[in-house]
Chain A
Amino acid sequence: MSRLSIDTQNTAEKTVEELYKDLERRVQASQPGLCPVDLAASFLKTCYAQSCGKCVPCRVGLGQLEKMLAQVLDGPADPGLLDIIERTAESIYFSADCAIGSEAARMILKGVRGFRDDYIEHINHGRCIGKHNQPVPCVSQCPAHVDIPGYIALIHEERYTDAVQLIRKDNPFPSVCGLICEHPCEVRCRRTLVDDAVNIRGLKRYACEHAGELPTPDVAESTGKKIAIIGGGPSGLSAAFYLTIMGHDVTVYEQRKQLGGMLRYGIPNYRLPRAVLDREIANMKKVGFKTVCNVSVGKDITLKELREQYDALYVSIGAHTGSKLSIEGDDAKGVISAVEILREIGDDHYPDFTGLHIAVVGGGNVAMDVARTAIRCGAETVRILYRRRVADMTALPEEIHGAIEDGCEVTELEAPLRVEKDRDGNVKAIWVRHQISGPMVNGRPSIVASRELEDVRIPCDRLLVAVGQGIDSQKFGDYGIPLQRGRIAAFDTSDVKNADGIFAGGDCVTGPATVIRAIAAGKVAAANIDDYLGFNHVIRTNIDLPQVRFDDHRPCGRINMRERPPQQRKHDFELMETGMTHEEACQESGRCLRCDHFGYGVFKGGREYQW
């Protein structure tokens, strides 16, 4: 017999590895609205199967926990049972020899404390609190609840204009979202169970690029009601679009030169070409709302005046002020807020960074946008400094990856310490202190300044600051609109407390968020303003959807979006991403599982024909 052998996987082990992957995908595509106690019980079962069986707490304890959870779920359960579960889990956590037992117990403890009411409802009444009311994952996850299976089916039939019109029932910015939406719809896509999520955003882009002339929606009979929208960004324009269709007389007030808000003054052309944005806004304006640019509410006209002139107001001013670094020397010349640069670019004033060394502070999408912009403006080097790890960045992974490809250097775990100036007060360098990734706080590793490594000086000619955005809300607060940490305090119905006829939504309420959330807020506001004014107009389409196709769900790779090669794209501001080919769009749209028809969707909430 040989002394040693090379470990090889047998078929069973290989299959189990595959099953782990299947399960991972399954967890990833877990639909919202499931019973948390039932889920905890099934997770526990998996944990229990992983026990090696050596130690009592794990070998016996997890089994007893499993039985007690089953009792909670199936009854009858004694009111004291929850206490016993908690005490048992705690003692397993404390006394298990290894993490297999202690972490399993910790998961149970987390649940007992995090969804205690669900446990109690099961014990007292034998049923769940929650209800499974989100049958179509993509539609539920989309803040605007766009009919995704519907438009994908239309794309598959090559009915692109109809697809875009169907999107416009819920989201008047299909082209914009086709390019830059963060696509929460894909996160829990049920196709993930088979192979991978459908590339929904890519398909939307394809539909928009291949649609014909979009018919302008019919506008309802005039109601004689006047509505002012303050802020011409995605939220304000969405509200304006739907309120106009409902027959109201809408005027959008925009303080900058042009409409679009952050879409124009925050997102660079290479991600969202101005021509696309302009066409989208022009299409929306066809319904007939009025726009007034270069008028700042609070300066050029008071909120009080507007309130008197209009029957209702929608405040959607966004979050456009850049947060400061608040470190020594941050007043140096050449320390520029990222939002300021992007805003200037919005009106086509590009900075010239030729030959300069640029440092960018921040780890969000704005940081990536401004860094990649700097490359395109001729910078010699661009270095992104982030105080946490790259893995902790809030920017989309593809943005980080793209920035690196474009030539940005990303330095993680370096926290700004002070800005070094020259005699004239110009930025010369930024000093950073190394951090180490520390204990988890709220599910995210905290950072702790390194006690060993020395501070580092990073020379730079410009320091671009992208560490968050604020809201210019004070004038609204002065009028009496309630503010909460600088944000406008509005309900999820977009009503503002104690301010009759005033509604608010978008970034100015949520803080900097995504375009689709802003659009959704505009849609919600439109419905509730219509209601407030005493109407019940409905937004609908009469697009006849194609019948479902049969499919065997054979696993098939997802079509990902491609980008122009870095060497080419980094020299210009032209659109970076390339669209799908017809062949790709056809295959990708065919991957949709039609959860509106197959599964729970056909029973409850498969399709909302109107809102």
Chain B
Amino acid sequence: MVNVIINGIAVKVPEKTTILEAAEKAGVRIPTLCYMKDLNEIGACRICVVEVEGYERLFTACNNPVADGMVIHTNSKKAREARKINVELILSQHNTNCAVCSRNWNCTLQKVANDLNIHWIPFEKDLPKISRTDYHFPLIREYDKCIKCMRCIQICDNVQTTNIWDVMNTGSRTTVDVGGVYRLEDSNCVLCGQCITHCPVGALRERDDLDRVLAALEDPEIITVVQVAPAIRTAWGEGFGLRPEYATYRRLVSVLKNIGFDYVFDTNFSADLTIMEEASEFLEKVKKAADSKKKGKKEKFPMFTSCCPGWVRFCKANYPEFVDQLSTSKSPQQMFGAIAKSYYAQLLNVDPSKIFVMSVMPCLAKKAERTYPTMVDDQGDPEVDVSITNREMVRLIRLENLNPADFPESDPDMPLGVGSGAGNIFGATGGVMEAALRSAYNFVTGENPDPDAFKDVRGMDGWKEETFDLAGTPLKVAVVNGLGNARKLLNALKKGRVSYDFVEVMACPGGCVGGGGQPIHDGIEMAADRAKVLYRQDAGMELRFSHENPSIKAVYEDFLEAPLSEKAEHLLHTDHHGWKMPNEN
């Protein structure tokens, strides 16, 4: 332990504690900008500089350790002035058109500048002249807003191992850009959106698709249908200061109805449908493997989940040898669109082209997924017409000048508004696996397991593995979240160091609850808290098995016949080779 004095307050902290952490312990706040705990402790912005007695130069608090006897002043004249000038320098190269920025009021630079009482910048504005941004791509980089904090590079390299963003050029022209290729749309970007949620300013954002939503709402000929992903209900209230217990899915139904959507449904429904197909597909594969043992043909294991389009993109771009082991089941978003434009169109007795399906997703990759040539209905139209992020939905509510707190809860529309607790936990890491196992157990034994029998796959660990007994057959499963963990697992599989039967992958740390389309809270990782919301909801539901969902039963009885039936294969399964990543052969 070492003793230090910070702004006159004595604290005792363990060795190697940073000045920032020691100050926090002393109750002293030091402003930071580029700093991101454990991920970006590089002292680039020089905002957190402090004065240490005995030294002429200033030191950054975020990445420098305290030493015994150190006397630190965080707000001395020298520290305050340097901090202020550094913020002014950053602002001189930042497009401060805050009023029209997606991060207005949620911008760390804005907050730091305001807190420092900066009203005027003594420097000439110096914005980059070159921009390579394609505003049609789901992920947009505003070159003139980037403050080169390098966080996007760190998350992309060290957490996701996707290595898209890199430092380009040297000297005064140093900037962040796409490495290897020149344009983001030509890169292997998986569209996880983690760079967006970790950007302190508005340099990175999703393409805003609300104009298309409004156009559909305004067209009297169009029937607007909404599906809301499980993870949305854990976080949509954050921007309105509402707790998740209050900002429920059922309250959101009222808000969306008020905005004018004709039918508000639930992606939990199609998550249940995914389970029916995926669990059946897996059991079929196991059966085939047992049969083929006799015949000598080999089924390749593990089977991988395919609900996460970020993961599918990652797999195709980096591990093409595993693509054939991805489940052919479409993601819940796409299954919903497929059913809405077939079964539901029949129920409504309308031409599917009159139906406009909007999905609200915690995700950017969903924006890409809905455009794949394989994700179309029988008329060749997209199954899902627009996919908006949770943040866009919040903006839509704001645009309509609604205060969600004023709305009561109400029931979603039928029949696609019914989802089970199993579908609900799709939004968290391990959720798809757990939901699939709940139903697989029933499919094999004819009985339901304890709904919490497979809860060992829950939790925020990056790479979890469990062996479950499925009616006498041991089943080895793994659950990974974050693409860096996926990469580790795939490399281990390639080297033969591990073997599994079934693997769930979610691209974002913590799963969709930590998705790149979720509300942004700089410096706080929300995934763990949001996941708890989903599990709490699941535990409180009567319906906890996908196969018991009455709407699911009905859709099979009246329309699809059975999981993996010809019709189900046609509508609900896909060929992952039917489209290509930019650099895929």
Q: Which of A125, A550, A551 has the most CB of B within 10 A?
A: A550
CA distance A76 to B55 in the complex (A): 45
B interface footprint on A565-602 (CB within 8 Å = 1, 0 otherwise): 00000000000000000000000000000000100001
Asked whether, in the complex, the Cβ of A74 is within 8 Å of the Cβ of B129, the reply is: yes
- Tell yes or no: B241 within 8 A of A by CB: no
Interface set, chain B 30-86, CB cutoff 8 A to A? 41-44, 52, 55-57, 59, 63-65, 67
Asked whether, in the complex, the Cβ of B130 is within 8 Å of the Cβ of A35, the reply is: no
Least CB distance from A592 to B in Å reads: 16
Asked whether, in the complex, the Cβ of B173 is within 8 Å of the Cβ of A602, the reply is: no
Asked whether, in the complex, the Cβ of B42 is within 8 Å of the Cβ of A552, the reply is: no
Asked whether, in the complex, the Cβ of B57 is within 8 Å of the Cβ of A125, the reply is: no
Asked whether, in the complex, the Cβ of A547 is within 8 Å of the Cβ of B15, the reply is: yes
CA distance A74 to B59 in the complex (A): 33
Nearest B residue (CB) for A132: B170
- Tell yes or no: A355 within 8 A of B by CB: no
- Interchain CB contact (< 8 A) of A547 among B67, B130, B169, B177: B67
Assuming the A-B contacts A74-B129, A552-B55, A552-B57, are A547 and B65 also in contact, with contact meaning beta carbons closer than 8 angstroms in the complex?
yes
List chain A residues, Cβ under 8 A from B150: 603
Least CB distance from B182 to A in Å reads: 6
Assuming the A-B contacts A75-B130, A547-B15, A547-B16, are A35 and B171 also in contact, with contact meaning beta carbons closer than 8 angstroms in the complex?
yes
- Tell yes or no: B168 within 8 A of A by CB: yes
Interface set, chain A 23-81, CB cutoff 8 A to B? 33-35, 38, 73-76
Assuming the A-B contacts A547-B15, A550-B55, A604-B167, are A73 and B173 also in contact, with contact meaning beta carbons closer than 8 angstroms in the complex?
yes
- Tell yes or no: B166 within 8 A of A by CB: yes
Asked whether, in the complex, the Cβ of B169 is within 8 Å of the Cβ of A128, the reply is: yes
List chain B residues, Cβ under 8 A from A603: 42, 44, 150
* Chain B interface bracket (under 10, 10 to 19, 20 to 34, 35 or more): 20 to 34
- Tell yes or no: A217 within 8 A of B by CB: no
Asked whether, in the complex, the Cβ of A553 is within 8 Å of the Cβ of B57, the reply is: yes
List chain A residues, Cβ under 8 A from B44: 603
Asked whether, in the complex, the Cβ of A550 is within 8 Å of the Cβ of B52, the reply is: yes
Asked whether, in the complex, the Cβ of B63 is within 8 Å of the Cβ of A34, the reply is: no
Tally of A-B residue pairs with Cβ under 8 A?
65
Asked whether, in the complex, the Cβ of A35 is within 8 Å of the Cβ of B170, the reply is: yes
CA distance A127 to B129 in the complex (A): 12
Asked whether, in the complex, the Cβ of A125 is within 8 Å of the Cβ of B167, the reply is: no
List chain A residues, Cβ under 8 A from B177: 127
B interface footprint on A537-554 (CB within 8 Å = 1, 0 otherwise): 000000000011111110
Least CB distance from A519 to B in Å reads: 30
Assuming the A-B contacts A547-B65, A602-B63, A603-B150, are A35 and B169 also in contact, with contact meaning beta carbons closer than 8 angstroms in the complex?
yes
- Interchain CB contact (< 8 A) of B64 among A75, A131, A548: A548
Least CB distance from A234 to B in Å reads: 33
A contact face: mostly helix, strand, loop, or mixed: loop
B interface footprint on A478-510 (CB within 8 Å = 1, 0 otherwise): 000000000000000000000000000000000
Asked whether, in the complex, the Cβ of A552 is within 8 Å of the Cβ of B168, the reply is: no
Asked whether, in the complex, the Cβ of A38 is within 8 Å of the Cβ of B170, the reply is: yes
Q: Which of B42, B43, B177 has the most CB of A within 10 A?
A: B42
CA distance A126 to B128 in the complex (A): 11
Least CB distance from B292 to A in Å reads: 29
Least CB distance from B568 to A in Å reads: 44
Assuming the A-B contacts A548-B65, A550-B52, A553-B57, are A33 and B170 also in contact, with contact meaning beta carbons closer than 8 angstroms in the complex?
yes
Nearest B residue (CB) for A133: B167
Least CB distance from B520 to A in Å reads: 23
Least CB distance from A447 to B in Å reads: 39
List chain A residues, Cβ under 8 A from B57: 550, 552-553
Assuming the A-B contacts A550-B52, A602-B43, are A35 and B182 also in contact, with contact meaning beta carbons closer than 8 angstroms in the complex?
no
B interface footprint on A112-155 (CB within 8 Å = 1, 0 otherwise): 00000000000001111011100000000000000000000000
Interface set, chain B 124-149, CB cutoff 8 A to A? 129-130
Nearest A residue (CB) for B40: A603
A interface footprint on B453-493 (CB within 8 Å = 1, 0 otherwise): 00000000000000000000000000000000000000000
- Interchain CB contact (< 8 A) of A128 among B168, B172, B495: B168
CA distance A183 to B42 in the complex (A): 29
Least CB distance from A448 to B in Å reads: 42
Least CB distance from B387 to A in Å reads: 32
* Chain A interface bracket (under 10, 10 to 19, 20 to 34, 35 or more): 20 to 34
- Interchain CB contact (< 8 A) of A132 among B41, B64, B167, B182: B167
Interface set, chain A 73-115, CB cutoff 8 A to B? 73-76
List chain A residues, Cβ under 8 A from B16: 547
List chain A residues, Cβ under 8 A from B167: 131-132, 604
Least CB distance from A610 to B in Å reads: 16
CA distance A231 to B74 in the complex (A): 60
CA distance A552 to B174 in the complex (A): 27
Asked whether, in the complex, the Cβ of A127 is within 8 Å of the Cβ of B168, the reply is: yes
CA distance A421 to B176 in the complex (A): 71
- Interchain CB contact (< 8 A) of B42 among A76, A126, A553, A602: A602
List chain B residues, Cβ under 8 A from A604: 167
CA distance A86 to B495 in the complex (A): 54
CA distance A135 to B281 in the complex (A): 51
List chain B residues, Cβ under 8 A from A75: 129-130
Asked whether, in the complex, the Cβ of A126 is within 8 Å of the Cβ of B130, the reply is: yes
List chain A residues, Cβ under 8 A from B174: 132
Q: Which of B52, B64, B168, B170 has the most CB of A within 10 A?
A: B170
Q: Which of B16, B43, B173, B174 has the most CB of A within 10 A?
A: B173
A interface footprint on B146-174 (CB within 8 Å = 1, 0 otherwise): 00001000000000000000111111111
Nearest B residue (CB) for A598: B43
- Interchain CB contact (< 8 A) of B170 among A128, A550, A597: A128
Assuming the A-B contacts A75-B130, A603-B44, are A34 and B64 also in contact, with contact meaning beta carbons closer than 8 angstroms in the complex?
no
Least CB distance from B20 to A in Å reads: 14
Interface set, chain A 170-216, CB cutoff 8 A to B? none
Q: Which of A38, A75, A126, A549 has the most CB of B within 10 A?
A: A126
Assuming the A-B contacts A126-B130, A552-B56, are A602 and B170 also in contact, with contact meaning beta carbons closer than 8 angstroms in the complex?
no
Least CB distance from B18 to A in Å reads: 10
Asked whether, in the complex, the Cβ of B59 is within 8 Å of the Cβ of A550, the reply is: yes
Nearest A residue (CB) for B66: A547
Least CB distance from A536 to B in Å reads: 8
CA distance A38 to B171 in the complex (A): 8
Least CB distance from A178 to B in Å reads: 29
CA distance A131 to B179 in the complex (A): 10
List chain B residues, Cβ under 8 A from A73: 173
CA distance A74 to B131 in the complex (A): 12
Nearest A residue (CB) for B58: A550
CA distance A536 to B495 in the complex (A): 10
CA distance A548 to B130 in the complex (A): 39
Nearest A residue (CB) for B182: A125
List chain A residues, Cβ under 8 A from B67: 547, 549-550
Nearest A residue (CB) for B172: A38
CA distance A75 to B128 in the complex (A): 10
Nearest B residue (CB) for A604: B167
CA distance A126 to B169 in the complex (A): 9
List chain A residues, Cβ under 8 A from B15: 547
List chain A residues, Cβ under 8 A from B59: 550
Nearest B residue (CB) for A75: B130
CA distance A14 to B132 in the complex (A): 48
List chain A residues, Cβ under 8 A from B172: 38
List chain A residues, Cβ under 8 A from B171: 34-35, 38
A residues touching B (Cβ–Cβ < 8 Å)?
33-35, 38, 73-76, 125-128, 130-132, 536, 547-553, 597, 602-604
What are some 27 contacts across the A-B interface (CB < 8 A)?
A: A33-B170, A34-B170, A35-B170, A35-B171, A38-B170, A38-B172, A74-B173, A75-B129, A125-B182, A127-B173, A127-B182, A131-B167, A132-B170, A536-B495, A547-B15, A548-B64, A548-B65, A550-B55, A550-B59, A552-B55, A552-B56, A552-B57, A553-B57, A597-B63, A602-B42, A602-B43, A603-B150
Shortest 3 CB-CB contacts between residues of A and residues of B: A603-B42, A547-B65, A126-B130
**Told that A131-B166, A550-B59 touch, could you supply 10 new A-B pairs with CB distance under 8 A?**
A35-B169, A38-B173, A75-B130, A132-B174, A536-B495, A547-B16, A550-B52, A550-B67, A597-B63, A602-B43
